[in-house]
Each structure stands twice: as C-alpha cells, then as structure tokens.
C-alpha cells in the first residue's frame, strides 16, 4: 500500500445500517480482512490447486463462500445462454464476462448492502448479487415492456436502484467521476456509505480517469476505484494503452493508495477490496485497485477477437480459470464435491431457462413509451413525431441490424 494514512476533513456520521436487501442477506458480515495489501507485486491468496498459505485465508463464513461460488457459476451460465440468444436473434447484443467472474463477485462481496455500486461494462453480476432477478435482467436484454427502462437502454445496461446499483453507462471512464462524486455526496449528507466505482483498463486512458482520481484524492472521497484490467480495450492491448509498468501505480501520482491483485482469485479480490472499503469507511479516503484478469471472449457479441489476438494467449488464461480455482478451494475444505456440482449446475441451468421463458412472455413496450418520461407532459412536437413514426410501421423502414 503506498501513500500515507490521511485523516478525513469531515467525519461521516454513521446512520443505522439499512435493512439487507434481497440477494445480499446471505453474505454474512465477514471478519476484518486478512491482508492489508502492499504495493509490491500482485496480491494472491489462492493457489491453482486451491490451497491458501497458512494465515492468509480471509475466514469467510461457509455460507458466504458458497454464495460466491453460486454467483460465479450463475453468471457464467447466464453469459453462455445470453450469447446463444443473441446468435439466435432473440436479443440484440450481449457483453460477456467469461474469465472475470472472480473480479466482480469478490469485490461486490466486500461491500455492505447500503453501499453503492457504479458499474462499468462487465459488472452485471453485481446487480444480480444485489437481488436483480434473472428474469428482470433478461427483460432488459430483450428491451420488453417489463424492462425498467422500457427498452430505451442498450442491452446489458442494467439499472437497479433498489440494490444501490447505478445505471450502467457505456461512456468509458464516466463511472469514475460519478462514483467519486456520489461518495462525496454521501459523506456530506452524513450517510455511512462507501461507493465502489468500476472501470476497465481502457478507462485509465480517458480524461475522466484524471478528473475522478484527482478529485477523489483531494477531497478524500469515501470510495474504492476498481479497475478490471482484462488486458484489452476492444482490439487495443494493454501494451498500447499505457507505458506504465502497472496500472495500479497510477494511483501514486494522485496520492491515492493503490494495490494490484490477482483478479482471478476471488479470495484475494475480496480481501483487498474489503480492506479498501474499510479505509474509506473510516474516513481515510479512496483506494485504487487494479485487478489483473482476462477477457476470454470478444468485447461483445459484435466483436471477433480472432481478428486481432493470438489464440495461444486465450488458452494460457483458460488455465487460470477463476471458477475452477475457487472450486478446488471449496473441495479441499470439504464444502464441495462432484456430486454437489452436478445437481448444482443443473439447478442453475434450470433457473436460467425459467428466467428466459418468463421474460420472453412479456410484450414489447407500448409505442408511446418512445416519448414518455422525458418531460412531465409530452410536448406537442414529440406527439407529432410519435405519430409520424407509427405511420411508418409495417413498411419495413425501421428494421435493421443492431448498430454496435
């Protein structure tokens, strides 16, 4: 950990903790983090064979460990099926997270239910951990009438206010200043809330990175800025994005303590994030986390990564699979076995199937939702434009491929 411990100018007034939300109640409040990360190298707790060095286990409750495993397996199955739906033309677009399950699930588990999440591109599992049902997620992907945004957002851009999950923005890097500002607002209001703001490696080259990091440091914003370094920003490799030895060390220039963690090690991600969340909650300001991981599939369903990267690289990262590594740990601890795995996977597949079937029952959004919710009263101009669009229906002029 670099930097010095700073005192917060304003002490947060702790409010009574909110009631746990659906989907989070099973995450038992963990013990204090077993590690306070150091800036030297990569924090890694779980070995490939599922062992953890003596004294390094963060000591999570069994129920929590199983919840983390369930969420990692569930998002993997969800991804697999959603990509299939996209290829079948049942949804327009999908952005998979294969390979990054531990980075998302482990970091979210380090929060309290009252804390807020500002996702970047690949944290949909966070909304589900906070209670967004799979059916609701698929409603969003279809953009049907039951979708909270009534089909007006791009697929994968979930929003879930009830779970303190801010609506996803695809504009790279904007999440950083949103998260930093929201955390400052929470402190001004006296809310005992920490904000976890995500970004990809690509976002560290965006102007918003500078603004967000600088503001966070100067004002000791109670946030954790979490970079999922998955080695690629669409077709641009990390070597073409930054000449810094690590992304984590960028924190140093801003005066933000930083840490680099093995993003495929759910226990290390949890421990590092937990320590950072505690720092923020105590009034010691932000932490910058770089989780080193890998995007094993395309950037999205519209991308073909074989055009720009070597298959051998993908194969090498497959060997560092975060789900396999965590399952090895659970098996060693006697919490898991092949018998449990088979029934469990079947249950998850069924859950996803049921959610698809339920979501596909929902009708498309009503036509007038094209113009509602912008002004309190729909303006005459918008009414006119709606009538114009509806008059074109059935003539095939509004059909076309998804643009991205």
- Taking CB atoms, the residue at the shortest distance from ligand TPP is 200
User: Exactly one of 72, 117, 193, 233 binds ligand TPP (CB under 6 A); which one?
Assistant: 233
Q: What three-state secondary structure class fits 70?
A: helix
Contact at 8 Å (CB) between 187 and 152? no
CB of 200 to Mg ion, least distance (A): 4
Query: What is the C-alpha separation between 122 and 293, in angstroms, rounded?
Result: 12
Query: What, of ligand TPP, Mg ion, none, does residue 24 touch, CB below 5 to 8 Å by kind?
Result: none
| CB 229 to ligand TPP: min, Å | 8
Calpha distance 329→253 (Å, rounded): 37
Residue 121 interacts with which of Mg ion, ligand TPP, none, CB < 5 to 8 Å by class = ligand TPP
d(CA 115, CA 394): 47
Look at residue 397 and give the partner it binds from ligand TPP, Mg ion, none, a contact being a CB closer than 5 to 8 Å depending on partner kind: none
One-character DSSP codes across 39-54: SSS-B--B-TTS-B-T
- 233 vs 275, beta carbon nearer Mg ion: 233
Catalytic residue IDs: 295, 299, 308
Kindly tell me which residue out of 170, 214, 331, 369 binds ligand TPP, with binding defined by CB under 6 A: 170
H helices of 236-360, where? 250-254, 266-281, 311-318, 322-332, 338-360
With binding defined as CB under 6 A, does residue 98 bind ligand TPP? Answer: no
The residue from 230, 273, 287, 301 that contacts ligand TPP (CB under 6 A) is 230
By CB under 5 A, tell whether 204 contacts Mg ion: no
3-class DSSP state of 331: helix
Whichever of 234 and 314 has its CB closer to ligand TPP, that residue is 234
Quick one: which segment of 104-112, 175-183, 229-237, 349-357 binds ligand TPP (CB under 6 A)?
Answer: 229-237
Q: Which of residues 177-216 bind ligand TPP (CB under 6 A)?
A: 200-203, 206
CA dist 275 and 378 (Å) reads: 49
| Interior angle at CA 299, CA 198 and CA 303, nearest 5 | 160
User: For residue 240, what are the contacts with CB-CB under 8 A and spacing of at least 6?
Assistant: none
Phi, psi of 54 (to 5 degrees): -55, 130
Q: Does 295 bind ligand TPP (CB under 6 A)?
A: yes
Q: In sequence order, which residues have a C-beta less than 8 Å from that of residue 1 and are 6 or more positions away?
A: 36, 37, 38, 39, 257, 258, 259, 287
- DSSP letter at 2 equals -
Binding-site string for ligand TPP from residue 299 to residue 318, where x marks contact by CB under 6 A and - marks none? x-------------------
How many residues bind Mg ion, per CB under 5 A?
A: 5
Which residue in the set 16, 171, 243, 363 belongs to the binding site for ligand TPP (CB under 6 A)?
A: 171
Residues that bind Mg ion (CB under 5 A): 200-202, 230, 233
Residues that bind ligand TPP (CB under 6 A): 121-122, 170-172, 200-203, 206, 228, 230, 232-234, 295, 299
């Amino acid at each position: 950990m670099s930097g010095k411990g700073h005192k917060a100018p304003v002490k947060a007034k702790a409010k009574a903790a909110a009631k746990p939300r659906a989907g989070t109640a099973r995450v038992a409040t963990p013990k204090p983090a077993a590690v306070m990360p150091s800036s030297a190298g990569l924090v890694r707790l779980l070995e490939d064979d599922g062992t953890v060095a003596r004294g390094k286990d963060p000591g999570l409750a069994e129920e929590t460990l199983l919840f983390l495993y369930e969420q990692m397996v569930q998002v993997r199955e969800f991804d697999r099926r959603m990509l299939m739906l996209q290829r079948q033309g049942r949804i327009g677009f999908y952005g998979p997270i294969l390979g990054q399950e531990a980075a998302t699930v482990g970091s979210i588990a380090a929060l309290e239910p009252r804390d807020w999440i500002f996702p970047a591109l690949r944290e949909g599992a966070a909304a589900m951990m906070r209670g967004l049902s799979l059916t609701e997620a698929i409603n969003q992907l279809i953009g049907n009438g039951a979708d909270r945004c009534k089909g007006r957002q791009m697929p994968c851009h979930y929003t879930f206010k009830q779970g303190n999950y801010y609506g996803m923005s695809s504009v790279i890097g904007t999440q950083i200043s949103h998260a930093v500002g929201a955390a400052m607002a929470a402190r001004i209001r006296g809310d005992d809330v920490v904000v976890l703001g995500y970004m990809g490696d690509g976002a560290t080259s965006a102007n918003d990175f500078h603004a967000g990091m600088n503001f966070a440091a100067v004002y000791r914003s109670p946030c954790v800025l979490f970079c999922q370094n998955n080695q690629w920003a669409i077709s641009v490799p990390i070597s073409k994005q930054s000449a810094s030895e690590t992304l984590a060390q960028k924190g140093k220039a801003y005066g933000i303590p930083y840490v680099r963690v093995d993003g495929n090690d759910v226990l290390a991600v949890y421990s590092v994030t937990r320590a950072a969340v505690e720092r923020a909650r105590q009034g010691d300001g932000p932490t910058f986390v770089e989780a080193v991981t890998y995007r094993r599939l395309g950037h999205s369903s519209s991308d073909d990564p074989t055009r720009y990267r070597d298959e051998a690289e993908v194969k090498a990262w497959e060997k560092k699979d975060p789900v396999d590594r965590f399952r090895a740990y659970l098996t060693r601890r006697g919490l898991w076995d092949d018998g449990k795995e088979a029934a469990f996977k079947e249950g998850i597949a069924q859950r996803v199937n049921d959610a698809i079937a339920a979501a596909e029952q929902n009708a498309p959004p009503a036509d007038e939702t094209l113009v509602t919710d912008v002004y309190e009263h729909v303006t005459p101009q918008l009414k006119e434009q709606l009538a114009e669009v509806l008059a074109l229906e059935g003539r095939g002029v509004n059909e076309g491929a998804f643009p991205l």
